[in-house]
Amino acid sequence: MGRWASISGGLSIERRAGGPTSDNGARAGLKPTEEGDVDFDQELDTRGLSCPLPILKTKKSLNGLTSGQVLKVVATDPGAVKDFQAFARQTGHALLSSTEENREFVFYMRKK
């Protein structure tokens, strides 16, 4: 399983060990799990934060990843949906998935 680490602001991230693997030409490591989620390399919890903090924390976390790695972001700000779409368009990072469940928004972003 992953290793949890604390970062400033009381947020937590999870780093998963292991490198990407090939999946019949698809982006390595992006296989749906049994729950329908996407495999990810790091998780960022931005629950309780309002715009622009979820995007700023995401940008900082993506800077620590290598090209092709996936960041999972959990947010509670309803404005984050449009913010993450715009962020992906403007930066070139891929927004792989955007879902909402129980007032929580989950985004998977692949670093360009």
Residue 27 has a pLDDT of 38
Q: Where are the domains of the chain?
A: 3-110
Residue 96 has a pLDDT of 97
The rounded distance, in Å, linking the Cα atoms of 28 and 46 is 26
Residue 20 has a pLDDT of 38
Active site residues: 51
Residue 37 has a pLDDT of 67
As to burial, measured by CB atoms within 10 angstroms (0-12 exposed, 13-18 middle, 19+ buried), residue 37 is middle
Q: What is the pTM of this model?
A: 0.71
Classify domain 3-110 at the CATH topology level: Translation Initiation Factor IF3 (3.30.110)
Average pLDDT, consecutive stretches of 10 residues, N- to C-terminus, the chain (112 residues): 36 41 35 63 98 97 98 97 97 97 96 97
As to burial, measured by CB atoms within 10 angstroms (0-12 exposed, 13-18 middle, 19+ buried), residue 107 is buried
